[in-house]
Chain A
Amino acid sequence: GAGVSQTPSNKVTEKGKYVELRCDPISGHTALYWYRQSLGQGPEFLIYFQGTGAADDSGLPNDRFFAVRPEGSVSTLKIQRTERGDSAVYLCASSLTGPNQRGGYTFGSGTRLTVV
């Protein structure tokens, strides 16, 4: 597609529920990233995929968070047993090859998650 698409754009869920956030990167981009942005803060790194594999998952805060990219294109971020502190905007980005390339990352508009 023309840009990075994230669905849903907004998600409200109850504390303790499970949620899935979807990211559809730019066609042909091999690298995909998930970031989380809390109100008034810059994005914080969660996980980076190169193809189908997670090349760096050091930013995932705990084992309630998991992400997959089974066919090297669409990715899903999964959060189990959601907590109110998980409320944030979850941003997905993609790039043609890997990190630090001159073109930077293309971000989606994010999924605004609210845990009540």
Chain B
Amino acid sequence: QKEVEQDPGPLSVPEGAIVSLNCTYSNSAFQYFMWYRQYSRKGPELLMYTYSSGNKEDGRFTAQVDKSSKYISLFIRDSQPSDSATYLCAMSGYGGSQGNLIFGKGTKLSVKP
């Protein structure tokens, strides 16, 4: 079992739909949870950052972390064609000197006009 599991999709939705993306993980030491968006032939771009459990909202995006279930989610409201990209969850449990972010495989999202 990989440390971080993410359904690779692809996921296709109509414009305006609510999108739900999620990841599960096995390492209970993870404390920092991130969602990155990656357009084709570009590097990942940070969307949301959450420390420990709870919800965080930023515009149309909401990130949720449930550490008891080892489950994180990203919700996109009123999805737009420009949201079409691959969404990567990433997490780490280390402070100090270690820089090892563990990424999921990514979910490819397509929002149809």
Contact = CB atoms under 8 A, between A and B. Distances in A.
A91 B106 CA distance: 16
Contacts of B106: 41-42
Contacts of A103: 46, 49
B98 A48 contact: yes
A33 to B, nearest CB: 5
A104 to B, nearest CB: 4
A99 B101 contact: yes
Interface residues of B, number: 31
Interface string A25-62: 00000010101000011111100101000011011000
A3 to B, nearest CB: 9
Contact of B34 (A33, A104, A112): A104
B44 to A, nearest CB: 5
Contacts of B51: 102
Counting contact residues on chain A (CB < 8 A from B), the size range is 20 to 34
B43 A55 contact: no
A51 B8 CA distance: 35
A56 B95 CA distance: 12
Interface in B63-113: 88, 90, 92, 94-106
A31 B43 contact: no
Interface string B43-55: 1111001010000
A48 B98 CA distance: 7
Interface of A: 4, 31, 33, 35, 40-45, 48, 50, 55-56, 58-59, 91, 93, 98-100, 102-110, 112
